[in-house]
């Protein structure tokens, strides 16, 4: 059987990235791991997120993936190197592709970046954009309330979402040519973000760019699926029913196979490795 592409996220937000991967790579098989028991990662320290990243990668390795996608912005910001050490396969994160797209979309104007607290504190987007465009001016803002609002099922039309967007983005509005949606959940609030920022501001969602990068790596390494018929298997550390019902909105299609990973099972490999 074709080896799968492994994808992991702190929870269900990474399904927005999986949706783009599926559109681009229809014949590939995907194993998605969502750490729903420990979400959010976005308010945790670097050491904790790195430990989680190591465990999440070790879990995905059981499926012998040919490539691992770190779909979570926070995990990419704080743990991409840890994943690369652990993976034994090519690894694609979401920040560099997002930075590339932001520079291309900004038309030389300042770039706004919104993300979780830990992603903003890491300055990973800032550095990735500066590496591409040393003169880029940036405005960064953590928006911690947006993740729980999306998790609750609120949309861009919801008055509470609109109020939070206004509160967070008031210092940025009118100052930027593009806005990086530096968190898996924000693409679901595009209507509120676009309405507040105005039509002249490009909203940058890294998912399509990530899918393009994954396609490029698979081609380069001769790993692309030949005649595969695709499919998604999901594994979560808590509450598979909720993952299935909310996750369908993120993915835009029904989620059939969602399996609960018991803690004893999840941690067994790490203990065996003496970590």
Binding ligand DGL by CB under 6 A: which of 89, 184, 206, 237? 184
Residue closer to ligand DGL, measured from CB, 40 or 90: 40
* Cβ atoms 123, 129 nearer than 8 A: no
Binding ligand DGL by CB under 6 A: which of 72, 82, 136, 261? 72
- Examine residue 36 and tell whether it contacts ligand DGL (CB under 6 A): no
Write down the H helix ranges in 8-72.
15-24, 46-61
What is the per-residue burial (b if ≥16 Cβ within 10 Å, else e) of 99-133? Answer: bbbbbebbeebebbbbbbebbbbbebbbebbeeeb
Query: Shortest gap between Cβ of 13 and ligand DGL (angstroms)?
Result: 4
* Interacting span for ligand DGL (CB under 6 A) from 9-17, 80-88, 99-107, 205-213: 9-17
- Examine residue 34 and tell whether it contacts ligand DGL (CB under 6 A): no
Query: Shortest gap between Cβ of 218 and ligand DGL (angstroms)?
Result: 23
* Beta-sheet pairing, 5-9 with 30-34: parallel
Binding ligand DGL by CB under 6 A: which of 30, 33, 41, 168? 41
* Cβ atoms 18, 7 nearer than 8 A: yes
Distance in angstroms (rounded) separating the CA atoms of residues 249 and 266: 27
Q: Note the maximum CA span of the chain.
A: 54
* Beta-sheet pairing, 91-92 with 138-142: unpaired
Out of 53, 143, 183, 234, the active site residue is: 183
Binding ligand DGL by CB under 6 A: which of 180, 183, 207, 246? 183
Active site (annotated) includes residue 53: no
Binding ligand DGL by CB under 6 A: which of 119, 124, 178, 237? 119
- Examine residue 73 and tell whether it contacts ligand DGL (CB under 6 A): yes
What are the residue numbers of the active site? Answer: 72, 183
């Amino acid at each position: 059987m074709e080896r799968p592409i492994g994808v992991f996220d702190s929870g269900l937000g990474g399904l927005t990235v999986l949706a783009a991967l599926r559109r681009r790579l229809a014949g590939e098989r995907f194993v998605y791991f969502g750490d729903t028991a420990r979400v959010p990662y976005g308010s945790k320290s670097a050491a904790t997120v790195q430990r989680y990243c190591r465990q999440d990668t070790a879990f995905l390795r059981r499926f012998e993936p040919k490539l691992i996608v770190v779909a979570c912005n926070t995990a990419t910001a704080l743990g991409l190197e840890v994943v690369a050490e652990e993976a034994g396969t090519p690894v694609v994160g979401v920040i560099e592709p997002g930075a590339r797209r932001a520079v291309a979309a900004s038309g030389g104007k300042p770039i706004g970046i919104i993300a979780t607290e830990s992603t903003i504190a890491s300055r990973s987007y800032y550095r990735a954009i500066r590496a591409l465009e040393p003169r880029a001016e940036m405005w960064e803002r953590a928006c911690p309330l947006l993740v729980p609002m999306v998790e609750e099922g609120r949309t861009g039309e919801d008055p509470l979402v609109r109020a939070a967007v206004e509160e967070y983005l008031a210092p940025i509005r009118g100052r930027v040519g593009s806005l990086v949606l530096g968190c898996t959940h924000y693409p679901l609030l595009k209507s509120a973000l676009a309405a507040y920022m105005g039509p002249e501001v490009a909203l940058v969602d890294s998912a399509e760019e990530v899918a393009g990068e994954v396609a490029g790596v698979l081609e380069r390494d001769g790993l692309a699926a030949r005649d595969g018929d695709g499919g998604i298997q999901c594994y979560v550390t808590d509450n598979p029913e909720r993952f299935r019902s909310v996750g369908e909105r993120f993915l835009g299609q029904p989620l059939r196979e969602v399996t609960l990973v018991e803690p004893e099972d999840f941690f067994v490999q790490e203990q065996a490795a003496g970590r």
